[in-house]
Chains A and B, each alone.
Chain A
Amino acid sequence: MASCHTTSEPDPIGGLGGAGSGLLALIGQPNVGKSALFKRLTGSLAEIANYPGTTVEVHRAPSRTDPDLMVIDTPGLVSLPSISEDERVTAQVLLREPLRAIVQVGDSKHLRRTLFLTSYLLEMGSPVVLALNMTDEAETLGLEVDYAALEHWLGVPVVPTQAVRGEGVSDVVAAVNKARSPVPKVVYPPVVEKAVADLAGLVPPGPMAARALAVLWLSQDAAADEWLRQRLPSEQMARMLEIRAEAQGVYAEPLEDIILHARLAFAERLTGVVSRDTGGSGFGLGERLGRYAIHPIWGLAILALVMLGMFGFVGVFGAGTLVGWLEGGLFGGLINPWLGGLLQSIFGSSWIIDLLVGPYGLWTMGMTYAVALILPIVTTFFLAFGVLEDSGYVPRLSVLTNRWFERMGLNGKAVLPMVLGLGCVTMATLTTRILETRRERTLAILLLALAVPCSAQLGVVMGMLAAVSAGAVAVWGLVVLGVMLAVGWLSSRLMPGSPSPLMLELPPLRLPEWRLLLAKTAARLEWYAREVVPLFLLGSLAVFLLDRTGVLESIVRAGRPVVEGWLGLPPQATTALVLGFFRRDFGAAGLYALQAQGLMSPLQVLVAMVTITLFVPCVASVLMIVKERGWRTTVALLAFIFPLAIAVGGGLRVILLSLGWGA
């Protein structure tokens, strides 16, 4: 089989760049441990999660053993042609990157499925190493794989691994160093083979082997089609279309099905030859719990327990105990008075004192909010959320909540970005890529921006409302959930298209590995420190400057009809709402301070919390929406969200007052 594969020339159009001495791509189906292997190979603190969608972007980092070798962690790829945006990204990597080698990460439990993907990669032209991961789980299920036989049949190194424990990782590195370009193994029916050979003679040279590119294009892959149209003159494209039409004319079923079934047959045959099922013990308690977690009644009971556990850990321990120690004790009692005194003795009474430790000071507002108020809450939340992710519970939550999301024009998969949004809406906006249609992604982003509070904000909101009453927490929850459902329901009916039905794999329920959990939490905290703390400082600086120049007073005056008249809040709340434009939790922390000073009544606290919860999360998330959906959609979302938040907040006040609440 002819191949005009070239590996040395970087792609002139697109590509990720920065190849160094070579690129190593980790490719595999979702949830097989690619990110865990990536972390082991690079030492990078990348996201490692148990559900599809974590690696929505291509992560890259230099190899630990060879700094010139750049390792790329690609999004999950089930099959080609690519269907989701995630898969298109991986297809682009294969099309555009000159790869030194491909490490396919496969799940040992699902050998047939793994070999099905191997059949594609063997055609790509780059050297391939197959890392068969999760061998421990395969053993538990009684699956035996003859690795030597598999290596013989595939003609590429096969390495058993347990990436989360680091087992077999050094063997993968050694195998990469000796891997050679493999020979394609799947033989298609003669008509398809002839079409592939004809097309391979027409396609321009590139990182992907001509045969693979021809097969991909015959299968109607959008990324391959785009790549070819950018490089081939129209006459040559017309000739290619003729070849495809000619081959298609022979079959009643689409060519992509003929190709798919040839691959499936190859994977089926080889699986039968190299593996056997001796009947293992199964996952026992985890399996039973997994089934209960999706039961319409028991599932809800388990969800309630999970929520209760999270509330206890994040709301009570994080937002209560830890914040009390840090804000009241360490910062309020020790550091802030000491620093104020120290600066006073150095600078006397100058504007620098105000800038650093004044009411809107960089330290007293920015750092105190970031470290004493928000950090303990996000730390506990990230830990709890990591447990949920790594245990395999989140996909089960998708199943359980599917009906609710269907009512909002989405499917249960949308629970992943929504739950992730409780950690950080910016990250969650990125994760909407796992949703299949543009319509679903836009809908999910709207709901995320409007009604999903991030962990930091949730903690502050819970802390403030818990001080009012349990009823206030319930009203807040019902209003926010009601707005989310109403907006989702209405938007799904106004936006053209229909929701795509749920199709999801449920990974086994397992105990999280505590080292990975801590590593992941540390990575998220590092992200928090890098991205959020500067925003807090910037926000404090902006408010300080607005205050010094008298603009803040003008804003407060201008906002009086809305803030005091419509929302019924004290004038000082305007500052907190201005802070809320930077980050919702920053504004919420400002309101927290007002409540602590006794400047807000229970009704005002509730109205303020509902209003600020419905604000856009933060500047970073707005920029992320711009990146994902463009300026026009972003401006439209903002123009809808801010007035709606104010309208709902004021409307709630009117309703509660008429009911005699807080009178």
Chain B
Amino acid sequence: MADMDCPMCGTRYDPMDNPACGTCPLGSGCRLACCPACGYTTVDPAGSKLAGWMSRAIGGRRRRKHHRHARAIRGDLRAVQPGRRVRVLNLARLPQGKRRRLEALGLAVGEMIEVLAQAPVTVVQAGHAQLALAGELSSLIDVEPGPEE
């Protein structure tokens, strides 16, 4: 998920790393984020499907393009459009166990992969293997465009 700006103090932070309501027993599915600088709690529009549909419907392509551009700079696999070939740059942000498993399955740093789908999960072709990864994992894999991109 992309970073967001705090509407109160303007600090840029990752809502995934800063969930609100840490003490609430029902908090694990909560979409509220808490600004690490000022403590202001707000909702992250990027995490809302309804907000996504709305912005596509009213703001359309320009916003979406801007969003994709922002994600492309960050270079995570989740943001790559299906059909594109990319090179794996970094797996270090993945949990250790998952990273080692992916490397053993053939998705290693330097490897060229093709993105086959981004919904319902990310599906990539790595060599002759097809691997399905939850968005939560593919957003932690840094990639760069392949030679032909």
User: Do the beta carbons of A294 and B123 come within 8 Å of each other?
Assistant: yes
Interchain CB contact under 8 A, B96 and A505: no
Tell whether, in the assembled complex, residue A113 and residue B106 are in contact, meaning their CB atoms are under 8 Å apart.
yes
- A141 part of interface (Cβ distance < 8 Å): yes
Chain A residue, CB-CB nearest to B108: A264
Q: Which residues, 102 to 149 on B, are CB-close (under 8 Å) to A?
A: 102-106, 108, 116-117, 119-121, 123, 127-134, 136-137
Q: Decide yes or no whether B48 CB sits under 8 A from chain A.
A: no
With both beta carbons as reference points, the residue of chain B lying nearest to A291 in the complex is identified as B116
Say yes or no: is A359 at the interface (Cβ < 8 Å to chain B): no
- The answer to whether A399 touches B123, judged by C-beta atoms less than 8 angstroms apart, is yes
Indicate whether B101 reaches chain A with its CB closer than 8 angstroms.
Answer: yes
Nearest-Cβ distance from residue B27 to partner chain A, whole angstroms: 9
B132-A398 in contact (CB<8A)? yes
Interface size on A, residues (CB 8 A): 40
Name A257's closest neighbour in chain B (CB-CB).
B100
- Whether B134 lies near A402 (C-beta < 8 A) is yes
Interface size of B by CB at 8 A reads 31
Known: A399-B121, A412-B121, A498-B28. A143 touches B132 (CB 8 A): no
CB of A584 closer than 8 Å to a CB of B: no
Contact flag A264-B134 (CB < 8 Å), given A254-B96, A291-B116: no
A653 on the B face (CB < 8 A): no
On whether the beta carbons of B120 and A501 are closer than 8 Å, the reply is no
- In the assembled complex, the CB of B101 is this many whole angstroms from the nearest CB of chain A, namely 6
Please determine whether B131 and A503 come into contact, CB atoms closer than 8 angstroms: yes
A295 contacts the other chain (CB 8 A): yes
Residue of chain A at shortest CB distance from B27: A493
> Is residue A403 contacting chain B, with contact meaning CB distance below 8 A?
yes
Known: A291-B117, A399-B121. A502 touches B134 (CB 8 A): yes
Asked, given contacts A294-B123, A398-B132, A503-B137, whether A78 binds B28 with beta carbons under 8 Å apart, the answer is no
**Cβ contacts A496-510/B at 8 Å (1 or 0 each):** 001001111110000
Is there contact, CB below 8 Å, between B25 and A399? no
Q: Of A141, A406, A501, which is within 8 A of B133 by CB?
A: A501
Q: Are A399's CB and B132's CB within 8 A? A: yes
Contact (Cβ within 8 A) A83 B101: yes
> Is A503's CB under 8 angstroms from B130's CB?
no
Q: Is B50 an interface residue (CB 8 A)?
A: no
A110 contacts B by Cβ under 8 Å: yes
**Is B97's beta carbon under 8 Å from chain A?**
yes
Please report which residues of chain B, range 73-89, place their CB below 8 angstroms from some CB of chain A when the two chains form the complex. none
Of A109, A296, A492, the contact of B120 (CB 8 Å cutoff): A296
Known A294-B120, A493-B28; contact A83-B132, beta-carbon cutoff 8 A? no
Query: Is A400 a contact partner of B128 (Cβ separation < 8 A)?
Result: no
Q: Does B26 contact A (CB under 8 A)?
A: yes
B131 and A504 contacting across the interface, CB-CB below 8 Å = yes
| Contact between B100 and A506, CB atoms less than 8 A apart | no
| Shortest CB distance A112–B (Å) | 6
Contact of B100 among A79, A295, A395 (CB under 8 A): A79
Cα A501 to Cα B133 in complex, Å, equals 8
Question: Is A503's CB under 8 angstroms from B26's CB?
Answer: no
Taking the complex as formed, is B98 at the interface, i.e. its CB lies under 8 A from any CB of chain A?
A: yes
Q: In the complex where A110-B128, A503-B133, A505-B131 touch, is A78 in contact with B117 (Cβ < 8 A)? A: no
Note all chain B residues with C-beta closer than 8 A to A299.
120
Nearest-neighbour CB distance to chain B for A24, whole angstroms, equals 25
CB-based contact A113/B132 at 8 Å: no
Q: Are A296 and B127 in contact (CB under 8 A)?
A: no
Interface centre among A296, A406, A501 (most CB of B within 10 A): A501
Q: Is A116 an interface residue (CB 8 A)?
A: yes
- A620 surroundings in chain B (CB, below 8 A): none
A411 contacts the other chain (Cβ, under 8 Å)?
yes
Does B29 make an interface contact (CB < 8 A)? yes
Measured between C-beta atoms, what is the minimum distance from B146 to chain A in Å? 17
CB nearest neighbor in B for A77? B104
Q: Say yes or no: A141 contacts B128, CB within 8 Å.
A: yes
Partner of A506, one of B28, B106, B131, B134: B131
| Cα distance A502–B28 in the bound complex, in angstroms | 17
Residues of chain B with a CB closer than 8 A to A260's CB: 100, 103-104
**Cα(A260)–Cα(B123), bound, Å:** 24
Report whether A116 and B104 are in contact in the complex, using a CB–CB cutoff of 8 Å.
yes
Most chain B CB within a 10 A radius of its CB, from A257, A402, A494, A504: A504
Whether A502 pairs with B133 at a CB distance below 8 angstroms is yes
> B132: which A residues are within 8 A, CB to CB?
294, 395, 398-399, 412, 502-506
A493 and B131: CB pair below 8 A? Answer: no
Give Cα A582 to B6, complex, Å: 59
Which chain A residues (497-543) contact chain B, with CB distance < 8 Å? 498, 501-506
Cβ-based interface call for A256 (8 A): yes
Of all chain B residues, which has the CB nearest A290? B130
Residues of A within 8 A of B129 (CB): 109-110, 113, 505
Q: Is the pair B136, A501 in contact by a Cβ cutoff of 8 Å?
A: yes
* A505-B104 contact in complex given A294-B123, A412-B121, A493-B28, C-beta closer than 8 Å: no
Q: Is the CB of A399 within 8 A of B98?
A: no
Question: Given the complex of chains A and B, what is the CA–CA distance between A450 and B130 in angstroms?
Answer: 34
Is the pair B133, A78 in contact by a Cβ cutoff of 8 Å?
no
In the assembled complex, the Cα of A556 lies from the Cα of B4 at a distance in Å of 63
Map CB proximity to B onto A394-425 as digits: 1 under 8 Å, 0 otherwise. 01001110110010000110000000000000
In the bound complex, what is the Cα–Cα distance between A571 and B120 (angstroms)? 49
On chain A, the residues within 8 Å of B123 by CB distance are 294, 399, 506
B137 touches A501 (CB 8 A): yes
Shortest C-beta distance, B132 to chain A (Å), equals 5
Name which residue of chain A comes closest to B106, CB basis.
A113
A398 to B123, CA, bound (A): 12
Residues of B within 8 A of A411 (CB): 134
Closest residue of A by beta carbon distance from B118 = A296
B36-71, CB < 8 A from A: none
Could you tell me if A505 and B105 are in contact, using CB atoms closer than 8 angstroms? Answer: yes
Chain A residues lying within 8 Å of B121, measured Cβ to Cβ, are 399, 402, 412, 502
B100 — which chain A residues lie within 8 A by C-beta?
79, 256-257, 260
A113 touches B130 (CB 8 A): no
Q: Which residues of B contact A116 (CB under 8 A)?
A: 104
Q: Contact check: which of A83, A296, A395 meets B97 at CB < 8 Å?
A: A83
Closest 5 interchain pairs by CB?
A501-B134, A79-B104, A502-B134, A506-B130, A501-B136
Q: List 8 A-B contacts (CB under 8 A).
A: A78-B105, A254-B96, A399-B132, A494-B25, A501-B134, A501-B136, A504-B131, A505-B132
Please list the residues of chain A having a beta carbon within 8 angstroms of any beta carbon in chain B.
Answer: 78-79, 83, 109-110, 112-113, 116, 141, 143, 254, 256-257, 260, 264, 290-291, 294-296, 299, 395, 398-400, 402-403, 406, 411-412, 492-494, 498, 501-506
* Extra pairs beyond A110-B106, A112-B127, A299-B120 (13, CB < 8 Å): A110-B128, A116-B104, A294-B120, A294-B123, A296-B119, A296-B120, A399-B123, A402-B134, A493-B29, A494-B25, A502-B133, A503-B131, A503-B133
